[in-house]
Amino acid sequence: MMVIRPIQASDYASLHDIAVESGIGFTSLPVNETLLRNKITCSETSFAQDVKEPGDQGYLFVMEDTLTGQVVGTSAIQASVGVDDAFYHYHLSKVAHASRELDIYNLVDILTLCNDYTGVTEICTLFLREQARRGNNGRFLSKFRFLFLKEHAERFAETVIAEMRGVSDEDGNSPFWQWLEEHFFSMDFPTADYLTGIGQKVFIAELMPKYPIYVNLLSKEAQAVIGKVHDKTRPALQLLQSEGFRNRGYVDIFDAGPTVEADLEHIRTARISRKLAAATGDPEGAKLHMVINTKLQGFRAVLAPLQVSKDEQRAILSQAAMTALQIEEGDQVRFAPLLLKG
């Protein structure tokens, strides 16, 4: 069985392996021991804090195979981005160049550097190792976070975003960054990506063009990837779109990948989730549900058959699921079906 739980200090080696496997472009997991250990410490502190409103908390989860004890994936939630460091995006919009006298009207796309998403909650650091990419593991590792957000809503902002990995080749070269590098930065994409991942963002403010960029002045290759995702990221984007996330013109400043957003109350899994007392039974044949307990430091999530009792008062789970969730008869659980209709 796969169980999702908060990361622990003893998971460092697994987190390092995941960081190496994730490769260039996965900014939130730089291959840097100090930074990775700091992420673990930050997460442990965040789960232990008594929080009334979102701040600089970061919640990092791991997926563990209970049969082998191996950590096979990560997933995270940043409570409020831009609290410590500036949080940059480009916003894609339009400007009209018109002359009534000459009867000329041109509508032009521009990219404007902004910090519009400062203070929102971000779901991030989603990575499933190659050997675990089967069945429903990827969907579960992404979507359980919506149950956690709903259950602990006071810890998070109303708006939730996700930055999607943009287009780059096997060597980590981004067509969008290549244009910026040539004209403004004089450093390659992997270097810029790594510096951002370790928190050294001051170079962005120092070197990034301060005025809007006219898209039609970019190279054709750069123009073609604005708002597009990496091939490996397309399933993740489709999943988020099915939950109600939409792109409102914001893209990453390095690879121009889209950022999607949704209000927590409008995220489908969060909206339709239910909370009931758990009961041990035989739900064999019931639909697969994502199920979480309502704890923080002892948080657990599983994917298991679940059946609601006829009186609508109890969530019936197998003993194995109850054990994995570390709950007893009568404890509260929040749950939602893994697959949504429509």
- Residues 3, 302: contact at Cβ < 8 Å? yes
Q: DSSP labels for 86-113?
A: ---EEEEEEEEEEETTTTEEEEEEEEEE
Point out the catalytic residue in the list 91, 97, 183, 230. Answer: 230
Is 230 among the residues known to form the active site?
Answer: yes
Report the alpha-carbon distance of residue 57 to residue 55 in Å, rounded.
6
Other CB atoms within a 10 A radius of the CB of residue 154 amount to 8
- Residues 160, 262: contact at Cβ < 8 Å? yes
Phi, psi of 12 (to 5 degrees): -55, -50
Q: Helix (H, G, I), strand (E, B), or coil: what is residue 190? A: helix
Report the alpha-carbon distance of residue 259 to residue 247 in Å, rounded.
6
Report the alpha-carbon distance of residue 292 to residue 303 in Å, rounded.
9
Report the alpha-carbon distance of residue 70 to residue 321 in Å, rounded.
18
Query: Which residues have C-beta within 8 Å of that of residue 45, sequence separation ≥ 6?
Result: 57
Question: Per residue in 159-173, is it b (16+ CB within 10 Å) or e — as a string?
Answer: ebbbbbbbbbeeebb
Cα 110 → chain centroid: 27
Q: DSSP labels for 266-315?
A: G-HHHHH-EEEEEEE---TTPPEEEEEES-STT--EEEEE-EE-TTS-EE
Residues classed as catalytic: 230
